[in-house]
């Protein structure tokens, strides 16, 4: 049987086998000089989700209830940015505390003194912050904190958990400095991508103080179920914490051997007989 030249024979999409392995937008196709309608609609939906994540109200009180069972005091604070619009327009406001929050942290230090804790007795303070994606913290922040704390031994003196709204990464420096903590860990919503609106970042800083640069931090990015799994991210974070405390440094000067250690500790695949 012959096939007419005018007969349309659909071709298999060579990208279909690859799309199942990634959430990235690959092999979108083309109709004329534009995208297929289905891909255009998916792009618009992903863009809308990313915008919603940036503007989503931060549910700090619900987050505090989620971590209430961890046995640590919870302290809410806010940056100088009074609202989301100001936060987006003035990044510098998101890096410093407002006056009420400064006073609240000062009272926390006073309470610690009555309990026999001297200034600087905290090894680490954990901060949960909205950043550019409140959704990321709502969905992954409490669990990331819970798994990280579960991996720490009793030698760690852990400060109160701080929940920060309208926060940038550098806000953790001022918070930790006021609590006299040696290490700050800020778990913060990252700038959402078109396929990762729930991405959480963990930033570690040794000897934090206002004015620290990003070169003084270690970052674990893309923490989410479809990215860097929370359990593995928590193990890497605790490894970096231990290395920072042992060596008294962080950032570009702290050698990160976690991946190499992980490969060494992984079981060797069985060889064929």
Cβ count within 10 A of residue 157 = 13
Count of H helices and E strands in the chain? 9, 6
* Distances, alpha carbon 6 to alpha carbons 3, 10, 13, 103, 127, in Å: 8, 12, 21, 79, 65
Query: Is 219 annotated to bind ligand?
Result: yes
Q: Which pair of tokens denotes residue 239?
A: 């490894």
What is the CB-side half-sphere exposure of residue 145 using CA atoms within 13 A? Answer: 33
Residue 36 Ramachandran class (φ > 0 left, ψ -120 to 50 alpha, else beta): beta
Number of C-beta neighbours around residue 84 at 10 A: 17
- Determine the Cα angle at 147 with ends 67 and 112, to 5°: 50
CA distances from 55 to 35, 58, 86, 130 (A): 28, 9, 12, 10
Q: Is 212 annotated as a binding residue?
A: no
Contact call for residues 27 and 21 (beta carbons, < 8 A): no
Angstrom distance (rounded) from CA 71 to CA 122: 15
139 assigned ligand-binding residue: no
Nearest to 140 by CA among 187, 70, 73, 193: 187
Instruction: Show binding-site residues for adenosylcob(III)alamin.
Output: 169, 190, 219
Binding-site sequence positions? 169, 190, 219
């Amino acid at each position: 049987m012959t096939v007419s030249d005018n007969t349309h024979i659909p071709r298999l999409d060579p990208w279909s086998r690859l799309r199942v392995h990634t959430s990235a937008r690959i092999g979108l196709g083309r109709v004329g000089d534009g995208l297929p309608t289905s891909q255009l609609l998916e792009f618009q939906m992903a863009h809308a989700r990313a915008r919603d994540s940036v503007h989503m109200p931060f549910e700090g009180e619900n987050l505090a209830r989620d971590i209430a069972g961890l046995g640590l005091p919870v302290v809410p604070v806010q940056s100088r940015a009074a609202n989301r619009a100001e936060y987006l327009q003035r990044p510098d406001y998101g890096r410093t505390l407002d006056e009420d929050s400064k006073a609240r942290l000062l009272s926390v230090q006073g309470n610690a003194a009555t309990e026999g804790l001297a200034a600087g007795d905290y090894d680490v303070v954990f901060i949960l912050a909205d950043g550019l994606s409140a959704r990321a913290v709502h969905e992954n922040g409490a669990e990331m904190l819970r798994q990280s704390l579960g991996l720490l031994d009793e030698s760690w003196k852990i400060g109160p958990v701080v929940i920060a709204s309208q926060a940038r990464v550098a806000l953790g420096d001022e918070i930790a400095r006021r609590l006299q903590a040696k290490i700050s860990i800020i778990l913060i919503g990252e700038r959402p991508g078109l396929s990762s609106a729930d991405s959480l970042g963990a930033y570690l800083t040794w000897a934090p103080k206002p004015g620290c640069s990003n070169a003084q931090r270690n970052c674990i990015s893309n923490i989410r179920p479809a990215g860097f799994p929370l359990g593995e991210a928590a193990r890497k974070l605790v490894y970096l914490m231990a290395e920072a405390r042992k060596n008294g440094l962080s950032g570009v000067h702290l050698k990160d051997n976690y991946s190499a250690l992980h490969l060494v500790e992984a079981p060797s695949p069985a060889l064929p007989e």
